[in-house]
Structure 1
Amino acid sequence: MNNIPTWQAVLAVDSRCELGEGPQWHASHERLYWCDILGKRLHWLSPATEKHGHYPLDQKVSLAAPLDDGNLLLVGEHALNRFNPTSGHIEKLYDFEADNPVTRSNDARVDRHGSLWLSSMGKQAEPEAGSLYRLHRGELCKLRTHLTIPNALCFSADGKMAYFTDTPTGQVMRWALDKQGWPLGEPKRFVDFSGHAGNPDGAVIDSEGCMWLALWGAGEVVRLNTDGQMIGRVVLPVNQPSCPVFAGPDLETLYITTAQEGLSAAQLAQTPTAGSLFAVQTGIKGLAEPPLRLT
C-alpha cells in the first residue's frame, strides 16, 4: 500500500450536499453536473470559468445524463425526466418504479452503446429492495433484482464488460456483455473489499482501462487494474466519498462527490466540508462517455 502512487484531493466546490452523487461530465455544455439526492438539488460547475450553481428539484434525483439532443435525462426516484438546463423546463418521459413508494433511484451510468444502466434501492436501504435496469433506445429492461445498495456501475472501454457492486456485500462484480451491450450469463467477482476499510460505492473507468472506486467510510478512492489489484489511491479530507468522474475538456481532472449523510454533529465539526465536491490531478485521463440515446 505504501508503494503505490497516492494523491491528495482538494476542495473544488464547497457544496456540502447531504448525499452528493452521480457526477457526470456534459461535454457539449462544458459543465460537470452532480446531484444532492436527499437535498433534491442538481449542482453544476463550469471548470473553465469556475462558476457553479444549482437547480432545485421536485424529487430525489441521482444522475443527470447528457442526451444526444443537448438536454439532460434526470434519473429520479419515481420518473425519468428530460431537463433543459437553459430554460429549466422538465418533461416526464418514463415512470421509474412509480408504484413502489419504498424505493428511489441510485447509481446510474451511460454505457458504450449510449444506453443507460440505472438502479433503485430502498429509501432506508431496506435489504434486497433494489433492482438494476438498462434503458436501451427508450425501453426499460430489468436486469437484476434483490439488490440492497447497487453501485459502481461502469464499463470497459471496449464495451465487453460491465461492473457493479451491491455495496453491503463488499464485492465488486464483472459482467460479460454481448455486442449490443446486454449481459451474458452470470456476473463474476472482480474484487473483494469485504475485509477492507470502507465500502465500495461509485466507480469510473479511465483511459488505461483501470477502475477508480470510491470507498464510502474510508475517505479514499482507489485505482484498480484489470486484475483487481490496487495500484493507486486518492486520499480525501472527508470520510464519505460516493463517486468519481473524469471531467474537463481533456478529461484530465478527477472529481469526487461526497456526503454528509449519517454524520453526527461532532463528525461534521471535524470535517466541515463533508458533502462537497473535490478534485485531483493524477496525470491520468478519463474515457469520453457517449451521450444517452433514447431512440
Structure 2
Amino acid sequence: MIIDDTPCALGEGPIWHPECQQFFWFDILNKRLHTVGKYWEFDEYVSAAGWVDKDTFLIASATQLFTFDVETEEETYVCGLESDNAVTRSNDGRADPQGGFWIGTMGFNAEEKAGAIYRYYRGELRRLFDNVTITNAICFAPCGAIAYYTDTIVGKLMATDLDADGWPTGKPRLIVDLSDEDFGIDGAVVDADGNIWNAQWGASRVAQYAPDGTFLQAVTFPASQTSCPAFGGADLKTLYCTSATEGMTSPAIDDGKTFAVPTTTTGQAEHRVIL
C-alpha cells in the first residue's frame, strides 16, 4: 500500500513515533521531514531522527544535531556534526536501546571513505567508525548488546558488540555478505525477535535475515530503489519502507514513494533518545 503519493528524491529515516502513534520519514535531497499529508522544510539536508518526547525529535542534518518540535516548529541546536567539513552530510541513523543516537555521514557525491559513524549519548558525540563511503543499516538487537551497520559500497552487513552503556566493544564481525550482488545494502531495522530487515537498493525489496545472517524471506515493493524499513502501527506489525528516485532518468510511477504492508512480525518500538 502506498501511504503517500509524493515521490521522494531520497526517502530515508522512517520512524514510527510510539507516543503519538504517527509515522514520519525524510526526503534528504529535498530537505524535508514528512508525515502523511504534511511536511516540514529545512535549510539543509536532513536525514534521520530519534524521538525525545511526544512532540520533539532529535534530527541529524548536514552540519548538526538539533531538536525539532513538530507542533511549534522550534529548532534548538544540540551539537555540530562534521560542521567544518563541506564534503559530507548526514545519512542513515537510529536511536539505540540505551537512549543513544547513532548517525552516519557520507560525502555529498559519495566520495570514497569520506564518511563516519557517530554516537550521541547524554551530551557527548563520539566517532565510532571512520573511512566509510555510504553509511547505512544502523540498527540494534532487542537485547541492546549488538549494533549492526554497513558501508553500502562494501556490501557487508557488520555486527559489533555493545557494553552496558551502548558503546562498541571488540572487533566488528561479518553477518551478511552481499558484496557480489548487483544491489546495495541500504537501511535496516531489527524486529522483536532479533531478525534483521534490510532494504536493498536496486532490488525492490526488504529482506529478512536471522541474527546469524541466514536469509529468511523477502517482501517486495513496486519501487526499485527501496531505501529504509521501519515497523509501526498500533501493534508494530506494519512494515514501512521508503524509496528514492535519485539517479533515475525515467522513474516508474511508484519510484520514490513510501509504502506500508501488514506482516505477521512484531517490530521493536523505536527507542527514546536521552539528551
1:189 matches 2:174: yes
How far off is 1:195 after superposition?
2.1
1:78 matches 2:59: no
1:291 matches 2:272: yes
Other structure's SS at 1:290 match: coil
Other structure's SS at 1:74 match: strand
Match of 2:106 among 97, 118, 121: 121
Residues 169-190 of structure 1, C-alpha deviation per residue, up to 9 Å, x if partnerless? 1100010111111111110111
Gaps of 5+ in 1: 1-9, 46-51
Match of 1:24 among 15, 40, 46: 15
Is the CA contact (8 Å cut-off) linking 1:24 and 1:64 kept in structure 2? Answer: yes
Partner of 2:2: 11
Q: State percent identity of aligned pairs.
A: 42
Partner of 1:242: 227
Over 3 Å counting, the alpha-carbon distance change for 1:285 and 1:69 in structure 2 is closer
Match of 2:260 among 279, 289, 294: 279
1:36 matches 2:27: yes
How far off is 1:64 after superposition?
2.6
Partner of 1:66: 51
Amino acid at match of 1:153: I
Runs (4 or more) in structure 1 with deviation over 2 Å come to none
Partner of 1:6: none
Mapped to 1, the partners of 2:193 and 2:69 lie a distance apart of: 33
Mapped to 2, the partners of 1:212 and 1:58 lie a distance apart of: 32
Is the CA contact (8 Å cut-off) linking 1:84 and 1:90 kept in structure 2? Answer: yes
Residues 20-67 of structure 1, C-alpha deviation per residue, up to 9 Å, x if partnerless? 00001111122111100000111013xxxxxx2111111100013211
Residues 224-254 of structure 1, C-alpha deviation per residue, up to 9 Å, x if partnerless? 0111111110111110000000011211100
Aligned residues: 275
How far off is 1:289 after superposition?
2.3
RMSD, aligned CA? 1.1
How far off is 1:69 after superposition?
6.4
